[in-house]
């Protein structure tokens, strides 16, 4: 299948190389799964990646969770992910003023050099987007920011009226904005977000699991099929895969569910 068949105008009219890369990988792998690789050792991460990579289209990291992190082992891990055709997405949730966010992409972890995508809150204003664009550009790269327009956790303050709309208005027009984080646990809120975002920017959704309902420490889970039908372009799945007894099979199940939902959404 070709990306244009599955994504239609969203493929044909999209000028953003990262968005096109994502849409293409989804079709190649028949998977919209963004793996939240929340393991705490390099061995655990590497094993997980090897188990699931055919069924996963992007790798989401929290680099500061890793207890035995070294620059060398991380570089090797990222290389494996790239070889398996995955975009690398550091869920850093930047939120400082532009120049500090830019410089926080350097430092020990030097995320500007290996992350293709990164999350940010827009709480400090649009300078965070400019700063992050500069961060990548300082090492000769282009990356994309996923702005938090919604969150999956109960009681999050992004739900205060007006906040999501303000994030979408600022991000929609900004070239560094790859897309938005939407709440996968509430399909109706996600559908509203899709209407506001339009067709160009991506929406990726955490808070999805085949077992729905309230979970650990305020996390909430919705059904991945419903999330895709409501407008999700990437389902972020963590424990549903990495805590499963069989991560390979779990990853395949999420891939199948997301791909079938995408085909249904596209009328195929
Ligand atoms: P889980 O194990 O599928 O619940 O993991 C979800 C991941 O998505 C985890 O890495 C969180 O940091 C991340 N996440 C989230 O759960 N909810 C949000 O609103 C955002 C990120 Br933003």
- Tell me the domain boundaries of the chain: 3-265
pLDDT digits (tens, 9 = 90+) for 99-112: 999 999 999 999 99
CATH class of the structural domain 3-265: alpha beta
Is 193:182 a contact under the CB 8 Å cutoff? yes
Helix, strand or coil, per DSSP, at residue 18? helix
Which of the residues 80, 82, 93, 196 is marked catalytic? Answer: 93
Q: Provide the whole-model pTM.
A: 0.98
What phi-psi label fits residue 27: left (phi over 0), alpha (psi between -120 and 50 degrees) or beta? alpha
- The pLDDT score that the predictor gives to residue 66 is 98
pLDDT level of residue 127 (50, 70, 90 thresholds): very high
Specify the pairing of strand 117-120 against strand 213-214: unpaired
**Residue pLDDT, tens place only, 65-122:** 999 999 999 999 999 999 999 999 999 999 999 999 999 999 999 999 999 999 999 9
Q: Which residues line ligand 1 (CB under 6 A)?
A: 36, 38, 62, 91, 119, 148, 151-153, 181, 206-207, 219, 236-240
For ligand 1, atom 12, name the residue with the nearest CA: 91
The packing angle between helices 247-265 and 42-52, to 10°, is: 50
- pLDDT-derived band of residue 216, with 50, 70 and 90 as boundaries? very high
Chain segment 219-255, per-residue pLDDT in tens: 999 999 999 999 999 999 999 999 999 999 999 999 9
Report the alpha-carbon angle 135-136-137, nearest 5: 95
User: Which ligand 1 atom sits closest to the C-alpha of 207?
Assistant: 16
Q: Is 99 designated active site?
A: no
pLDDT of residue 200: 96
């Amino acid at each position: 299948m070709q990306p244009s068949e599955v994504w239609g105008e969203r493929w044909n009219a999209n000028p953003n190389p990262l968005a096109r890369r994502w849409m293409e990988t989804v079709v190649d792998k028949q998977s919209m799964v963004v793996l939240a690789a929340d393991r705490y050792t390099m061995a655990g991460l590497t094993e997980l990646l090897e188990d699931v990579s055919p069924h996963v289209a992007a790798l989401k990291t929290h680099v500061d969770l890793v207890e035995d992190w070294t620059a060398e082992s991380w570089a090797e891990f990222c290389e494996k992910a790239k070889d398996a055709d995955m975009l690398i997405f550091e869920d850093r949730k930047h939120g400082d003023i532009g120049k500090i966010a830019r410089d926080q992409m350097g430092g020990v972890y030097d995320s500007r050099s290996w992350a293709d995508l990164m999350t940010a809150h827009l709480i400090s204003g649009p300078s965070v987007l400019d700063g992050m664009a500069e961060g990548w550009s300082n090492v000769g790269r282009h990356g994309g920011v996923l702005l938090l327009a919604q969150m999956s956790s109960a009681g999050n303050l992004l739900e205060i009226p007006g906040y999501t709309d303000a994030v979408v208005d600022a991000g929609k027009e900004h070239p560094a904005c790859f897309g938005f984080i939407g709440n996968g646990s509430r399909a109706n809120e996600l559908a509203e977000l899709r209407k506001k975002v339009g067709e160009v920017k991506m929406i990726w959704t955490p808070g999805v699991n085949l077992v729905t309902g309230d979970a650990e420490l305020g996390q909430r889970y919705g059904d991945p099929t419903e999330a895709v039908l409501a407008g999700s372009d990437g389902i972020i799945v963590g424990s549903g895969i990495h805590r499963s007894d069989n991560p390979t099979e779990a990853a395949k199940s999420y891939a199948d569910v997301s791909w079938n939902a995408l085909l249904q959404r596209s009328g195929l």
